[in-house]
Amino acid sequence: MSIIKKDTIYTSLKIVYSVCLASSPIWGTGVLLATLMMNDSGRFKERFQMGCLYSFLATPIALTYTIFRIQKGDRRPLIALLPLIPVGSYIACFFAFWKDEKKQ
């Protein structure tokens, strides 16, 4: 018997994801600014910038879908962890942008 019930975990995730979605205009402004200013560094690597932009745009969609599915009673771990995919891909593209060496 587990100490924490599954319903408690999914309710907590729903609250955390709702707060993230509601505050997305605040954190989203900084992330969008950082993403759009990547090429101002003189490193014209649009493939990583576009990857970051697509991941940034997919995050609120994934959050909304996950909140909706949890509210409807879907208790699959894949649904609960879905918002981590665009966040992880944004971080991966961001680090790939800065670690990529310019070929001459």
Domain ranges, ordered by start, for the chain: 6-99
**Res 43 pLDDT > 70:** no
Tokens of 70: 């949890």
> With bands split at pLDDT 50, 70 and 90, how would you rate the model's confidence at 103?
low
**Res 82 pLDDT > 70:** yes
> With bands split at pLDDT 50, 70 and 90, how would you rate the model's confidence at 15?
very high
Cβ 45 vs Cβ 36: under 8 Å = no
Select from 70, 72, 89 the least CA-distant residue to 21.
Answer: 70
In whole numbers, what is the pLDDT of the chain averaged over residues?
85
pLDDT score for 75? 86
Separation between Cα atoms, residue 49 and residue 41, nearest integer Å: 12
